Structure 1
Amino acid sequence: MSAQITLPSQRFAATTGEINLTELSTSWLILYFYPKDSTPGCTTQAVGFSCLKDQFDALDTTVIGVSRDSVKAHQNFTEKQSLSINLISDKEEILCRHFDVIKEKNMYGKQVMGIERSTFIFHNGTLVKEYRKVKAAGHAEQVLQDLKALQTAE
């Protein structure tokens, strides 16, 4: 695990205003990166986390999604899918580069740079688990299970 990954202490534009990841009111944070709003896998993942939001809330955990889409695109996605989680717009790829999730991908035979679906669990600002090359289906449920295990082990 890349223990050197820390949370940057700057503000990012999100669906509910600006967010500073180091100033959240919960002791646990799930930060997940996804390629693009309103695409099948990304919708599956966002809806999965939204459906489990109450359970994450009960575990003192904030769930935030990150992509390079604009805040306006995030707001449309949130409205269309009735999402209950916050989404950060990382158009400048500050968080994407910080977490090293920009990777070369094969899109219809062309090599492009895009976000590799990844998730990070933080406890009091310390990275405790990371997932790379995530498959969207069932991921939110897996993260919830792992979070419960991490909290039990405390």
Structure 2
Amino acid sequence: MSQVTVGAPLPDFTAASTEGEITKASLAGQWAVLYFYPKDHTPGCTTEAQGFRDHHAQFQKAGARIIGVSRDSLKTHGNFIEKQGLPFALIADTDETLCELFGVMKLKNMYGKQVRGIERSTFLIDPKGVLVREWRGLRVPGHVEAVLQALHEAAG
């Protein structure tokens, strides 16, 4: 069950990332794009990360910080960042605290079996820590561009 609601401030959180600890307070004063993805080094997740990487300068110019989140370890994240040349932090949500907070854990069908995993989702957070937009169960093609457009619209 999600504890976040569009139009409401995010609850406090603390998470370990490849750039140190990230908290709600550390995001204050800037726009933030928090994107949740199933697993490092998989085709869809790699394509999504590359999209955010390739548009990183445009997000920065609009005053936004990009942060990826999955259940992978910091070590795996470090390898993924190095291999893909990612210029942003990845949160290692190994205990699923942030996943539960944002309500992204879902039962999914994989090879005919039900497995519990992250539903690909993105959240746009304003400089005051309020969730202004969410995308859940999304498809990768065109998504990064849609988030960038929403950021431009919201940021004015």
TM-score category of the 2 structures, normalised to the smaller one: over 0.9
Q: 5+ residue gaps in structure 2? A: none
Aligned pair in 2 of structure 1 residues 98, 4: CA closer, same or farther (>3 Å)?
farther
1:88-127 correspondence runs (5 A): 88-123=91-126, 124-127=128-131
SS in 2 for 1:69: coil
| Correspondence 1:59-138 to 2 at 5 A | 59-123=62-126, 124-138=128-142
| Residue ranges of structure 1 left out of the alignment (5+ in a row) | none
- Distance verdict in 2 for CA 1:112–1:85, change over 3 Å: same
| Pairwise CA distance, 1:12 | 1.3
Cα distance in 1 between the residues matched to 2:38 and 2:12: 23
Q: Give the TM-score normalised by the residue count of structure 2.
A: 0.91
Which of 124, 128, 147 is 1:143 aligned to?
Answer: 147
RMSD over equivalenced CA pairs, Å: 1.6
Q: If the length of structure 1 is used for normalisation, what is the TM-score?
A: 0.92
For 1:126, the aligned partner's letter is V
How many percent of aligned residue pairs carry the same amino acid? 51
**Which residue identity does 2:135 align to in structure 1?**
Y
Is this contact kept in 1: 2:28–2:129, CA < 8 A?
A: no
Distance 1:4 1:25 in 2: 16
Moved more, 40-49 or 17-26: 17-26
Within a 5 Å distance, the mapping from 1:1-16 to structure 2 comes to: 2-3=5-6, 6-16=9-19
Corresponding residue number in structure 2 for 1:34: 37
| Contact kept in structure 1, 2:36 and 2:119, CA below 8 Å | yes
